[in-house]
Each structure stands twice: as structure tokens, then as C-alpha cells.
Amino acid sequence: MYECLLQPVDLGPTRIANRIFNPPHGTTLGHKGQVSDDLIAYHEARARGGVGLIIMESMTLHPSYGFEEAFLYAGDDRIISGLNRLAVICRKHGTAVFGQLFHAGRGVRLSHDGSRPLSYSASDVPDERYRVIPVPMSTDMIWEIIDSYASAAGRLADAELDGVEILASMGYLIAQFLNPHTNRRDDEFGGDLTNRMRFLREIINQCRLRIGKNKTLGIRITLDEKTDKAMPPDEIIEVCRRLETDNHIDYYSVISGSSAAPEGWVHVFPPMAIKQGFVIDDAARLKAAVDKPVLVAGRINQPQMARSVIAENKADMVGMARALIADPEFVNKFASQRADEIRACIGCNQACVGHRLAHFPISCIQNPLSGRENKLGEIRSVAAGKRIVVIGGGPAGMKAAAVAAQRGHYVELHEKTSRLGGQVNLAEALPGRAEFGGVTTNLQAELSKYQVRVFLNSHLDEPRLLSIKPDRVVIATGAKTRLPEVEVEGIDLVDSWSVIRGEAAVGKNIVIADWSCDWSGLGLAEKFACDGHYVRLYCGGSVAGESIQAIVRDHWIGILHRLGVEIVTYARFSGAVGGSVYFQHMTAGEAIVCDNVDTVVSCYAARSSSECDWVEQIADISAIKVGDALAPRTVEEAVLEGLNSVWNY
């Protein structure tokens, strides 16, 4: 069925076993700028899972840019041995490995010690994300950096990687030279396209000289930066055409978005609200203009879509960064007719991009083993299975049940409602969030694969529980909604969960009192506005959606702006009388009054369910609480604790 995805393809001198590649993604699994055992284990899992090509995360190469805590550093020879170890291990599984070279130019926020950095670019034009004013590079510095690219490429070749990719995209240094908005130079590196391309061309020429003809050399390029100061896609295509005539480049990898402004940044790490496969048409445009292979990535998380990209000749390879973070076995699964077992990435950005941008090792909310391969190892079967009862069918309970059953235990999962999923069922009901339901679908697939006995509408009491004779009980009963303790008179105050469930009605003029600053306030604001209500979102934080991943939040705030939702921040809900709702400014301490309100919808702290606390009192049962039953948090912690609760049991 996926035959076309399993065909080899040549990227210059390197034959790649199939059409799926793992695009570069910063993992924060390196250590002090070097390849670590954690990083090797991470990539080996994907190589074992069948991916044809791994393009490793951005490596920095010059002291003018680079954090050793966050990036691998290819600016000296220490990088060689670790890269070599990684490449040799991945190649044993038939996977080729390239390294990506990177300089951010002005795109840097902090220095190594937390102070404001000195950043360098073509000219002193600042951007709208980092707000650092770059120092224009001297000609000597430009040649020094070109030389650093070549030396770094040489180190990658010395490490026996199969190829080198130059990041020329996303508004970073090379793109800053290409773009006349950021390149105001009047020397040989600025002015017309030929001059603005000189930096990139020299880098390519020097890298090719250094690595020779036996290694692949590619570039990552953005056709559509999605910012108002972007280079026109036609001009980027012209850049690629000219590179074709130089004949040093073996492939073009197309991406979208830019680091220079929020709307561009959102497209570099596209959240679930952005259309799947949104870069494919850009790739197809470039493919029509060049002869060398074109690679594409961006919200492609299903083999069906990948197949159509290849079958329709829109690109030569399909990249899946987050899809492989969520499921390293992705390729093996579709290649062996098990596509329905794929744990599809839902584009939530929480544990991958979210961890990365906070400088923590990446993982996946659905797959806690991701990024923890070296620490946790693989799931181990037990010699003698025990009897495990899981109470609660949300993500924590489902994960605990699936892992326990996979290990060889007899597992029953009891859910008191008629549906698995817990709070995921609320999140997926909001506009643009349907994909979130994938968490439940994926976990359900694991439950059935490992033959967990699932009982819906099941209320366990002590005699019934004891009759099952469990050795361990996992209490995953989740949380309950609650209202804030404020005075409310003569106006409807309803909680967000009841509204999403359709159990509470709302009037025309709605104020959302959003203590949580998470998906519930943003999602309800969008839903109400789409349904024609007048919506005011009052948030108890410095920005709406402060508790969720910044890119998801930024995109959502844009949607709310378009819908005319009024957003007020630093607002502490203090009560409501008649048609007026009262807030207190959280730093000024002054009252904020909101008039003509029909309904206040509260997004407030949930409370752990204590309905099965009695289980912990039963002497002969080992009971363990997980997820929101322990303390209300997010799906990520629920799934991780579900796994941990049975990992060594």
C-alpha cells in the first residue's frame, strides 16, 4: 500500500533506503555541546524504527553564536568522535545520517550567562521576536564565518556522516543576507541578488571543497516566511535556480516560516490549528523549478499524506519531526501493514517544542519514552504476570493499563462513564482542537493491542474490587471542576467544563474569568465568538494562554483577535453583582469593572477526585495514584505517571 514510500532515493552520492526522513530538530539531549548517550539512544530508536535518513539537529559553528547547553557545537574537533559513534550505530539499521550547520545571526535572545547578547548580522536591522540590535558583520568576520562553515562541514565529514545540510532558512543568518530588508550592505555581500547570495554561495562552495564529492550537501530553504518582511517566494526559487547552475547542491529541503516575527515563528513549529501538509505546495513549486531532489516537512503525520506527496511527485522525500518524536516506529509500522498502530502526533507542541524552547530535553505528551530512551530503556516483560486494576479511563489510566498489559500483566480498566478519554474529551470539543482527541484514539489502540479488559459505566466498590483480587490498583480518577470562592449575585456563574459538555447555558454577553490561562479559556472564547456571542476574556496572567506552549498560544491569540474577542490581562476575578463583573488588577490592585454581562464562565483550578481514596486503606492492595487524581495538571504528566506506575512493577 505504501510501496512508493519504501523506494530508495539518491541524494547526491548517498542512497537513502526509503522516502521518510527525520528533519533536524533540537533535542536538548546533547551535553555541553557534545553528542551524549541520551542523544545516541534517541536517534537509534528512530533508525531502528525504519526511517531512511536522519538529519541531525542544528549545530553551531562559530563563537559569535551558540549555546553549548542547547546546541551541538561543530566549531571544534571535539564533536567528531560523538557524531561518529551516532552515525555508525544508525547506519547499522540502514539509516543515513546528515548534520545541519546553523548560525542564527540576529536571532538570539540571551547570551551564555543570561545577559543580553552581542548578535551579528548583515546589517543592524532588528527583528520582532528577539528585539536584539545586531552588529553589522565586518568583511573579515564574514569570511571568517564562511571559513567556519567549511571547517565544521569538514568535521561532519571526518565523523563519517553521510552528508551536510546548510540551514539557509527561517530568517536566520544566511536568510538575513539573502533578504534585502535585513541586508542593507553596499559591499560585495549586499545590493542585488547576486551580491546578497554571495554569502550562501561562498559557504556552499567552501563546504563542497572541504567535504569532496562523496558526501551529500543540501540546503534547508524557506519559500514562504509568512512575515510581512519576507523575501518573495519567486526570488527564493531564483536563488535555487542559480545554485542549480553552480552544481554543488544535492538537494533542497523546503520549510515554512521565520524566526523573525511571531506569525512566521508559528509556522516553523506549526500547531494543530495549522493545516496538515501546509508546506507541500511550496515544495511542489520548487520541484517544478529545479532538477535536484526536493524534501518537504510540516505537519505531515500520516503515511497516507506522505504517500500522496511522493505519488504525485510533489517532493522526493517527506520529513516527519514530531510524528517520529511521537512514534519512532512510524516507518516500520506502515511498512508492515500496521499503519493503524501509528501513534499520530497531534501538533500540541507541548513536550517537544515546549521543552526545547525552555531548554529541557524533548519528549512527547503521548510517548514519555521519547527523549528518555537511554534513561528508561525498553518496556520489559514480566516473568509472572500479576493482576492489575486501573480505576479511571483518562490518559493516565489508559497509559498505565496499556503498559502493564504490554509487560504481561492481567489488566482490567474500569471507567465510570460511558466513554474513555477523561478531559481529552473536553479539549477536543473546542474549535480547531479535534486532533487532540487523537490522544484517546491512540491510547485506545494500545489498550486493544495489549488486550486490556475495559469496563465502561463501571462503578467499583470494595466488594467488587476485592472480588477481582488485584495485586495493584492504579487510581486514575482524574479531577473535578470547581468554582472560585467569590461572591456572585444575580448573574449566572458557570464552570468551563459544564459549558463544554453542553450542561450549562450561556447568554449573549459573556465574560470568561480565566484563572487557568490554558486551552479552556482560549478555546471557549473562540467557540463563543464563532457562535455569535460578545466575548470578553479576562486572564489572571500576563498574557492570555500563559500556561500553554507559547506558539500554540500566539496562534490562538491571533484567531481571537480576528474574531473580535476583547482580552484583558492581569485580571483577578473578585465577584459579580447584577450585570457587572469585578476584577482586580493583579499589580495595580485597582478594580476593573465589566458591565452588561449575562454569563460569567469560570476557568478555574480543578480539584483532585478523592472518590477512590478508600482503596488506599485496603491493607493487602498496593495502590498508587496518578495524574490529576494526585494533582490536577496536563495530559503530559498524566501519561508519564501512568507509565511510571507500572514501569517496574
Q: Give catalytic status of residue 149 as yes or no.
A: no
Q: Which does 19 bind (CB under 5 to 8 A by kind): ligand SF4, ligand FMN, none?
A: none
Reduce the DSSP state of residue 581 to 3 states and report it. Answer: strand
In the complex, minimum distance from the CB of residue 312 to ligand FMN, in angstroms, rounded to a whole number: 19
**Can you tell me the distance from the alpha carbon of 370 to that of 216, in angstroms, rounded to the nearest whole number?**
28
Q: How many residues bind ligand FMN (CB under 6 A)?
A: 25
Q: Which does 350 bind (CB under 5 to 8 A by kind): ligand SF4, ligand FMN, none?
A: ligand SF4
CB proximity list for 85: less than 8 A, separation 6 or greater: 35, 40
Nearest to 26 by CA among 139, 170, 232, 181: 170
Any contact of residue 345 with ligand SF4 (CB under 6 A)?
yes
The interface region with ligand FMN, picked from 20-28, 104-112, 430-438, 571-579 by CB under 6 A, is 20-28
Nearest to 442 by CA among 386, 382, 499, 402: 402
Nearest to 75 by CA among 91, 85, 63, 93: 63
Any contact of residue 627 with ligand FMN (CB under 6 A)?
no
Question: Among 20, 159, 365, 390, which residue interacts with ligand SF4 (rule: CB under 6 A)?
Answer: 365
Q: Which does 348 bind (CB under 5 to 8 A by kind): ligand SF4, ligand FMN, none?
A: ligand SF4
CB proximity list for 464: less than 8 A, separation 6 or greater: none
C-beta closer to ligand SF4: residue 318 or 364: 364
In the complex, minimum distance from the CB of residue 348 to ligand SF4, in angstroms, rounded to a whole number: 4
Nearest to 609 by CA among 591, 630, 585: 630
Any contact of residue 347 with ligand SF4 (CB under 6 A)?
yes
| Contact in structure between 311 and 3 (CB atoms under 8 Å) | no
In the complex, minimum distance from the CB of residue 345 to ligand SF4, in angstroms, rounded to a whole number: 3
C-beta closer to ligand FMN: residue 320 or 552: 320
Any contact of residue 309 with ligand FMN (CB under 6 A)?
no
Nearest to 634 by CA among 521, 519, 551: 519
Q: 3-state SS string over 416-441?
A: CCCCCCCCHHHHCCCCCCHHHHHHHH
C-beta closer to ligand SF4: residue 149 or 330: 330
| Contact in structure between 62 and 145 (CB atoms under 8 Å) | yes
Any contact of residue 299 with ligand FMN (CB under 6 A)?
yes
User: Beta 294-297 vs 72-73: how paired, if at all?
Assistant: unpaired
Question: Among 146, 152, 255, 260, which residue interacts with ligand FMN (rule: CB under 6 A)?
Answer: 255
Q: Is 234 left (phi over 0), alpha (psi -120 to 50) or beta?
A: alpha
Contacts to ligand FMN from residues 265-284, by CB under 6 A: 268-269
Any contact of residue 352 with ligand SF4 (CB under 6 A)?
yes
Any contact of residue 326 with ligand SF4 (CB under 6 A)?
yes
Q: Which does 219 bind (CB under 5 to 8 A by kind): ligand FMN, ligand SF4, none?
A: none
Q: Which does 326 bind (CB under 5 to 8 A by kind): ligand SF4, ligand FMN, none?
A: ligand SF4
The interface region with ligand SF4, picked from 16-24, 218-226, 349-357, 479-487 by CB under 6 A, is 349-357
Residue 388 per-residue DSSP state: E
Rg of the Cα atoms in the chain:
26
From residue 180 to residue 209, what is the string marking binding to ligand FMN with x (rule CB under 6 A)?
------------------------------
From residue 589 to residue 628, what is the string marking binding to ligand SF4 with x (rule CB under 6 A)?
----------------------------------------
Please pick, among 172, 251, 604, 649, the residue that the annotation labels catalytic. Answer: 172
**How many angstroms separate the Cα of 399 from the Cα of each of 368, 460, 474?**
10, 20, 11
In the complex, minimum distance from the CB of residue 318 to ligand FMN, in angstroms, rounded to a whole number: 9
Residue type, 519: W
C-beta closer to ligand FMN: residue 360 or 614: 360
DSSP string, 195-217: HHHHHHHHHHHHHHHHH-TTSEE
Residue type, 520: S
Contacts to ligand FMN from residues 55-84, by CB under 6 A: 57-58
**Can you tell me the distance from the alpha carbon of 563 to that of 527, in angstroms, rounded to the nearest whole number?**
10
Determine how many CB atoms are found less than 10 A away from the CB of residue 310.
Answer: 22
> Around 414, how many Cα atoms within 13 Å sit in the side-chain half-sphere?
17
DSSP string, 586-630: TTT--EEEE-S-SEEEEE---EE--TTGGGGG-TT-EEEE-GGGT
Any contact of residue 533 with ligand FMN (CB under 6 A)?
no
> In the structure grid, which three cell numbers stand for residue 417, read together?
462513564
CB proximity list for 383: less than 8 A, separation 6 or greater: none
C-beta closer to ligand FMN: residue 335 or 362: 362
Q: Which does 351 bind (CB under 5 to 8 A by kind): ligand SF4, ligand FMN, none?
A: ligand SF4
Any contact of residue 61 with ligand SF4 (CB under 6 A)?
no
Question: Among 169, 216, 349, 440, which residue interacts with ligand SF4 (rule: CB under 6 A)?
Answer: 349
Positions marked active-site: 172
Residue ranges binding ligand SF4 (CB under 6 A):
322, 325-326, 345-352, 364-366
Residue ranges binding ligand FMN (CB under 6 A):
23-26, 57-58, 100, 167, 220, 255, 268-269, 297-300, 319-323, 352-353, 356, 362
